[in-house]
Chains A and B, each alone.
Chain A
Amino acid sequence: MPLQHVGQISAWFAGTDIALLELRGPGGSLTLRQHHGSITADLDENASCTAMPPAVLDVVTAASVGVFLHRHPLHEAPLVRVGERMQAGRTLGLLRIGALLLPVAAPRSGIVAGVLVAHDTMVGFGARLFELLPLQP
């Protein structure tokens, strides 16, 4: 991270009520702390943090053509919400094929990161339905 940007980031940071901000990149890491209005910055240009891999999201796709349902037809509440932790195998959504309802299941345990299709939308085979942040890679 270019050193000249630290001042700008610190100024933005001062305008928030965030107490701790850590930025990591291939060039090093920046830690900003805010305490009683004063800001301390630690810039570490050591390459030790370059091993931090970007989070890889699982994409859950439609196993069949059907109408994607984000909630059960009898229910008002969605089956899952973004940020919710789901165990492997739990139902994230449904595919309606005529009278039949098929589950869209979590392939492994994770946190729901995105619902990619609106409720009651016709989808094709392989359509991307959910993003899931796996809890164990």
Chain B
Amino acid sequence: MIEILSDTALTTVQDLGRFGFLNWGVGASGAMDPLALAGGNLLLGNDENAAAVEVQVFPFAVRFHVPCGFAVTGADCAARLDDQPLLPWWSGEAAAGQVLHLGLPANGSWRGSRAYLCLAGGVDVPCVLGSRSTQLRGAFGGHEGRALRQGDRLRAGLPGAGVRPTGFGLVPPALAMPLVSEGMVAIRVLPAAEYDRFTPASRDVFWSAAWKITPQSDRYGYRLAGPRLDLVAPIELRSHGIVPGVIQVPHGGQPIVQMRDAQPSGGYPKIATVIEADLWRLGQAPIGSRVRFLESTWEEALAALDETARWLAKVHELATLQGGRAGRA
């Protein structure tokens, strides 16, 4: 059992997402950085898809009311258990009464913006439509269908001392699988249905510009600022299905990337779509930072997905081995 000590905002329970219900108007939800969620879970011997606490506003603190194994992944936020510092992407075990503090995300060799607190056995909330993710728009899933508040208490699936071997960590995937272009986080995208309806100059600048992530960016979508993108001629589209990663360009010419809590339909022209394997890179890009878009192909997008799957398989194998060894020691 953990208790939220911070007067927090926008902190939610998330797993990898709720899939297969877009046709009913139910969005995907899920962790903005699925690799951090899966990595933290694998450190604890959990299923990759176990639910965790996604922290977006710092500092943040929880108190453990019972002993419990945990892992903190995602943004490097100077985590400490009482006064003991914890390395980034690391697992530990808290005794009853101990407080886990997360500070402001650090400006290291990689800067993230969201941290994940995973618990042994996962955060024990009901599974709704196949997922434990919080669906804020529909007010269901996660913890009571809402963001966490000070005083909320969450149970771990497998609480207790020594239940899971802890005390080791992972090389963050941003270092293991870096993708940087001219010093900026690079995001691979596929040209989308209306790409050819934009002017050649707009198409060129879409690839060459440094797109700034504005403060109007959240789990629903990222509003980007940069050169204006213009259509050759205005087009009217009926609302149609969209998924996280779709980059729409409304009338102002400034793109919006749909993120995990995006509504499942929209009618703006789509210039491109972020490949699924790179959504985590964008999910961690801080407000105020700049990103670049790299043109990709369907084959490259699948290969990138394979690369992350291989990374997770390797993490799973090594963490299981290490867990077994630590368990015997």
Contacts and interface: CB of A to CB of B under 8 A. Distances in A.
Contact of B171 (A76, A91, A99): A99
B135 to A, nearest CB: 32
* Leading 3 A-B pairs by shortest Cβ distance: A101-B169, A100-B318, A74-B108
B176 A102 contact: no
A96 interface: yes
Interface string A99-122: 111110000000000000000000
Contacts of B175: 73-74
B168 interface: yes
Given A100-B318, A103-B168, A72 B88 contact: yes
B172 A73 contact: yes
Given A98-B314, A98-B318, A103-B167, 20 more contacts: A72-B87, A72-B88, A73-B171, A73-B172, A74-B76, A74-B106, A74-B110, A76-B109, A94-B87, A99-B170, A99-B171, A99-B311, A99-B314, A99-B318, A100-B169, A100-B170, A100-B322, A101-B89, A101-B90, A102-B168
14 contacts: A73-B109, A74-B76, A74-B172, A91-B87, A96-B171, A98-B318, A99-B315, A99-B318, A100-B169, A101-B89, A101-B169, A101-B171, A103-B167, A103-B168
A75 B168 contact: no
Interface in A39-93: 72-76, 91
Interface string B44-78: 00000000000000000000000000000000100
A75 B109 CA distance: 7
A98 B88 CA distance: 17
Interface residues of B, number: 23
Contacts of B167: 103
Nearest to B169: A101
Interface in B105-132: 106, 108-110
Interface of B: 76, 87-90, 106, 108-110, 167-172, 175-176, 311, 314-315, 318-319, 322
Contact of B168 (A72, A74, A76, A101): A101
Nearest to B329: A63
Contacts of A97: 318
Contact of B176 (A76, A91, A94, A99): A99
Contacts of B90: 101
Nearest to A96: B171
Most A CB contacts (10 A, CB to CB) among B76, B168, B175, B319 go to: B168
Contacts of A73: 109, 171-172, 175
Contacts of A76: 108-109
Nearest to B108: A74
Interface residues of A, number: 15
Nearest to B317: A98
Nearest to B172: A74
A102 B168 CA distance: 5
B88 A74 contact: yes
B190 to A, nearest CB: 28
A97 to B, nearest CB: 6
Contacts of A103: 167-168
Contacts of A99: 170-171, 176, 311, 314-315, 318
Contacts of B88: 72, 74
B164 to A, nearest CB: 15
A74 B108 CA distance: 6
Contacts of A98: 314, 318
A76 B106 CA distance: 12
Contacts of B319: 100
Nearest to A76: B108
A102 B319 CA distance: 10
A60 to B, nearest CB: 16
B170 A101 contact: yes
Most B CB contacts (10 A, CB to CB) among A72, A75, A94, A99 go to: A99
A136 B32 CA distance: 48
A102 B322 contact: yes
Nearest to A102: B168
A75 B107 CA distance: 9
